Amino acid sequence: MDLLDTLTAKGLRGETPTREEALAVLATTDDELLDVVAAAGRVRRRWFGRRVKLNYLVNLKSGLCPEDCSYCSQRLGSKAEILKYTWLKPDQAAEAAKAGVSGGAKRVCLVASGRGPTDRDIDRVTDTVAAIKDADPAVEICACLGLLSDNQAERLKAAGVDAYNHNLNTSEGTYGDITTTHTYADRVDTVQKAHGAGLSACSGLIAGMGESDEDLVDVVFALRELGSDSVPVNFLIPFEGTPLAKEWNLSPQRCLRILAMVRFVNPDTEVRIAGGREVHLRSMQPLGLHLANSIFLGDYLTSEGQAGQTDLDMIADAGFEVEGMGESTLPRHRADIAAAATGGCGSGSAGGGCGTGAVSGEGEGESADAAVGGGCGTGGGCGPCGGHGHAVPAATVGAADDKDADRAADEVRTDLVRVRRRGAGTELAPNA
């Protein structure tokens, strides 16, 4: 297929495709799907080899968010029966983080629901970061606390935070349909504040909210332009008790096409499969590893993931390996750029930390062909919450042939969406 040959050649050179080419990826058929995965897989291996970075979520403060993001189980007015608790103490958070690091995670994502942190909240996070890094100085810390005020990003950087997550979630044109209590511009401003303070920018999207193909391409190109070092791709978890509980617009094939498109647009950027992979990719999760180089280990913020050991077995069975603490996540040229922007050492991970790995970013034979609101209730991606709004009409979804889109409008899949009842905020052992 000429399209895939063109996209592969561009990706191996680290070039960005056109919007038309990105849209064409989403329009491919199921008969072409394995060819799409193979093409995007070559690009993934060129820059990241067969390494998979593991990330672990710690929900520092769950529920009771004043923002009204339609997708979020922690939103204002949510009837989802999730865990609700105020700030974990630093030792509690450090204990939760330890479980993830012991399971192979090199990055711990500290998330708190709410519009944005107070100065006292920044103090709490500072103490928590110190407790985690006292136990393991090499671990990366990503904070996700919502909209940032002036100087807060600088304080987080000084406290030892390596990255900041704030997802754009959807296109600027449809953002008002999912959130009314803050704007798309507010989110862009926070990502820019984080980047400007020397934090590695982590920003991604949520697919499956009723958006069109054009919306997906718009937000992915916007993330590229923002300079995100890592792009988490969340697949909507339709929580019962939220406005989007009946939005089942995704199939495993649709999810793989979305991941491939994100990889082609961000050939040398960390692409992470975040919340919803177990719900929507299901038995096809291993194919997602050929497109993304990063996943969350175990459970998410308010929903359960598959068993942590199952994640590790899946990675090994698919022929991949867990990325080590000392290895650089980003390819050398991206790591050097990120380090220059953040004041790092150049060999560090994801632009923030100073890893000692000497990974060149050239994977398995591909180099010869070559001339990146409070806790997100989707269950992953560390994306701050936000809005009430209304879903974009399902008729606009560019996946009319997907089997899951034919579900009855009133069906709620409680068999696939499981609320987290263990780990942070409970007395039960975490899943890692």
Catalytic positions: 65, 69, 72, 109, 142, 202, 272
In whole angstroms, give the CA distance from residue 413 to residue 397: 20
DSSP H or E segment with residue 426: none
Q: What angle do CA 224, 227, 232 make, to 5 degrees?
A: 65
Residue type, 112: A
Residues 6+ apart with CB under 8 A from 348: 328, 335, 338, 339, 354, 355
User: For residue 230, what are the β-bridge partners?
Assistant: 202, 270
Residue type, 39: A
Q: Please give the Cα distance from 107 to 174 (Å, whole number).
A: 31
Residues near 194 by Cβ (< 8 Å), separated by ≥ 6?
148, 153, 163, 164, 166, 201
Q: Residue 89, SS3? A: coil
**Terminal CA-CA length for the chain:** 41
